[in-house]
Amino acid sequence: MSRAALVSTVRFETGFLPRVPAGDDQFSSPSDPAILAITDFTREHPVTVDAERQIDDALNDMIVLGVRALPVLEEQHIVGLITSYDIQGERPMQFLQSSNYRHHRDIRVADIMTPWDALTAIDWGSIQSMSAGELLEMLQEARLTHVLVVEVAGKNSCIIRALVSRARLVRQLAGLRSAGLT
């Protein structure tokens, strides 16, 4: 009889849920439905970050999980979106110059994220009728790296149904071209 080895979690600083990107290893055609090229939170558990987390830790989470954007939560409500581009770009330095903070390591996600009221979203109903090529074209024209997909849940509320990543969509379509399938 084989014995399983038990491991104490004390030796680990933190734990993460596994992230299996849906469709990243599958090729998409520009004419395929756009819903095949999104991270649908009804199929994949959304990876999020707390608004009070330090940005360096959030970036490390993104690297470990293989994502470039995280919805930001505060008391179980989405309050914004943070991307690796935000953390590695100009925003931290701009924030330090206009704040009382002195060190990059002190900056929290909430300090540089794109707040909820400044985010761009696509309606779930609209994305269901779009092709992957149309979705990519829309993201490129709007110069967006990420966009939320929302489903109306009530008069003043919505469900964040999915997240669209332009980089992921480009990778899927580039993989199709490099395989000689276009």
User: Structural domain boundaries of the chain?
Assistant: 23-178
Q: Could you tell me the CA-to-CA distances from 12 to 52, 58, 70 in Å, in that order? A: 21, 17, 22
The pLDDT of residue 182? 41
CATH number of the domain at 23-178, out of 3.40.50.970, 3.40.220.10, 3.40.190.10, 3.10.580.10? 3.10.580.10
Q: Where are the beta strands (DSSP E) in 69-155?
A: 69-74, 77-83, 114-115, 121-123, 146-154
Find the distance separating the first CA and the last CA of the chain, reported in whole Å: 53
The pLDDT of residue 45? 85
The pLDDT of residue 115? 93
pLDDT in tens, the chain (182 residues): 555 555 555 555 655 544 444 444 455 688 889 988 898 988 888 899 999 999 999 999 999 998 999 999 998 889 999 999 999 999 999 999 999 888 988 999 999 999 998 998 998 989 999 999 999 999 999 999 999 999 888 778 888 999 999 998 998 887 644 444 44
Rounded Cα gap, residues 109 and 107, in angstroms? 7
